[in-house]
């Protein structure tokens, strides 16, 4: 996740003011992100493990997508009983914009992000990480049917109940990988439940299995659910700290601390060691939008989604049943 205007150069943070470090969206995108509908459901933490037996698949185009957008929701759902998996669509071979991530060759980027992705899965409590290994920024060249087939296979194999991914209706996306994987996921969630789509998979022991619930990371008026992630904020920091090869988090705090030390300066925020520097930097600058959204809804930290599903039947049918069903005689 490295659109050109979402993250400032670290040097600019020092010279232009640290408050700008949290700019994950461009100004126009940021204004649209606040245009939420009047009715937004606030999903709070549940007691115990009410989702025990359910399966969650967190899908990202790049190693830092879930950490930056939905790590709290993923950690919360796993804590509440889901068995979770992580799927990364690209191999992140293009690295990141200047000043972000860790500079290196294409090979360095591939290996570094592969390791980071596995660490993200670990800190979020996910059972396994899968990689489709498409080239970064080249997913528009990938056959949509091929992508859907691979996603359908995994949905059926893992028996996925709930998916977290980019919003396929996020029309202001400038990164083509985000758009492609989101559209593939939306189609696969439906097609995986049909008996005549890729029936050869049934010979391998799979069966039709439709996804029932979708959390699509949203930042436009499609937002209809806000998830309280206050209780898992330390895991959000862990997940973002794991992304050292890519993105605005990772070890940027300790790098800034070292840079300031060379000029005889320090920031109390960054503490006295590299671990504290990285964690405090992420808490202050990377989680700022989660903090602002949370305050708007009366909690400390929150994440926003275009939420779809929650049952195979339509809402109207469910409401009719609840009002009109009578006991059998």
DSSP 46: P
What residues make up the domain containing 245? 10-35+47-300
Structure tokens at 133: 């290994």
Strand order from edge to edge, sheet including 41-43: 41-43, 225-228, 302-309, 213-217, 162-166, 55-60, 83-90, 128-134
Q: What is the mean pLDDT of residues 236-257?
A: 95
- Do the domain assignments include residue 323? no
* 171-218 per-position pLDDT tens digit: 777 889 999 999 999 999 999 999 999 999 999 999 999 999 999 998
pLDDT at 310: 67
Q: Name the one residue in this structure whose structure tokens are 């979708």.
A: 214
The CA-to-CA distance between both ends of the chain, in Å, stands at 58
- Do the domain assignments include residue 229? yes
Structure tokens at 130: 């899968």
- Do the domain assignments include residue 21? yes
How many independent structural domains does the chain possess? 1
Q: Which residue has the higher pLDDT, 4 or 277?
A: 277
Please state the φ and ψ torsions of residue 315, each to the nearest 5 degrees: -60, -40
- Do the domain assignments include residue 152? yes
- Do the domain assignments include residue 3? no
pTM of the model: 0.83
Q: What is the mean pLDDT of residues 309-328?
A: 80
- Contact in structure between 58 and 68 (CB atoms under 8 Å): no
pLDDT at 311: 60
36-45, 262-271, 294-303 — which is least confidently predicted?
Answer: 36-45
Round the average pLDDT of the chain to a whole number and report it: 88
- Kindly give, in sequence order, each residue whose CB lies less than 8 Å from that of residue 236, ignoring residues fewer than 6 positions away: 67, 71, 72, 75, 229, 287, 290, 301
Beta bridge partners of 41: 225
Structure tokens at 203: 């010979």
Q: What is the CATH number of the domain that holds 110?
A: 3.40.50.10320
| Cα–Cα dist 228/76, whole Å | 9
- Do the domain assignments include residue 263? yes
Q: Is 89 helix (H, G, I), strand (E, B) or coil?
A: strand
| Cα–Cα dist 312/164, whole Å | 18
Structure tokens at 17: 């003011």
Per-residue pLDDT at 17 exceeds 50: no
pLDDT at 26: 42
- Do the domain assignments include residue 164? yes
Structure tokens at 82: 């889901």
* 225-241 per-position pLDDT tens digit: 999 999 999 999 999 99
- Do the domain assignments include residue 324? no
């Amino acid at each position: 996740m490295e659109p050109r205007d979402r993250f400032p150069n670290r040097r600019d943070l020092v010279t232009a003011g640290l408050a700008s470090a949290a700019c994950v969206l461009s100004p126009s995108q940021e204004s649209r992100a606040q245009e939420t509908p009047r009715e937004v459901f606030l999903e709070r933490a549940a007691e115990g493990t009410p989702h025990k037996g359910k399966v969650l698949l967190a899908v990202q185009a790049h190693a830092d997508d879930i950490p930056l957008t939905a790590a709290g929701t993923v950690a919360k759902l796993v804590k509440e009983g889901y068995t979770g998996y992580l799927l990364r669509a690209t191999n992140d071979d293009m690295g990141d914009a200047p000043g972000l991530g860790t500079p290196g060759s294409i090979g360095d980027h591939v290996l570094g992000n592969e390791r980071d992705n596995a660490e993200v899965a670990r800190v979020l409590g996910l059972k396994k990480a899968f990689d489709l290994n498409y080239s970064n920024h080249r997913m528009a060249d990938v056959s949509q049917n091929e992508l859907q087939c691979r996603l359908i296979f995994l949905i059926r194999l893992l028996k996925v109940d709930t998916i977290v991914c980019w919003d396929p209706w996020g029309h202001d996306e400038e990164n083509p990988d985000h758009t492609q994987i989101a559209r593939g996921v939306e189609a696969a969630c439906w097609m995986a439940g049909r008996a005549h789509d890729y029936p050869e998979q049934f010979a391998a022991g799979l069966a039709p299995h439709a996804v029932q619930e979708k959390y699509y990371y949203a930042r436009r008026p499609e937002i209809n659910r806000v998830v309280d992630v206050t209780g898992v904020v330390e895991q959000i920091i862990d997940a973002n700290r794991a992304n050292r090869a890519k993105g605005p988090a990772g070890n940027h705090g300790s790098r800034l601390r070292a840079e300031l030390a060379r000029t005889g300066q320090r920031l109390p925020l960054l503490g006295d060691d590299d671990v504290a520097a990285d964690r405090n930097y992420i808490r202050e600058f990377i989680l700022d939008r989660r903090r602002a959204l949370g305050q708007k809804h009366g909690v400390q930290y929150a994440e926003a989604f275009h939420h779809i599903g929650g049952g195979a039947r339509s809402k109207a049918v469910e409401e009719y049943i609840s009002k009109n069903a009578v006991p059998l005689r």
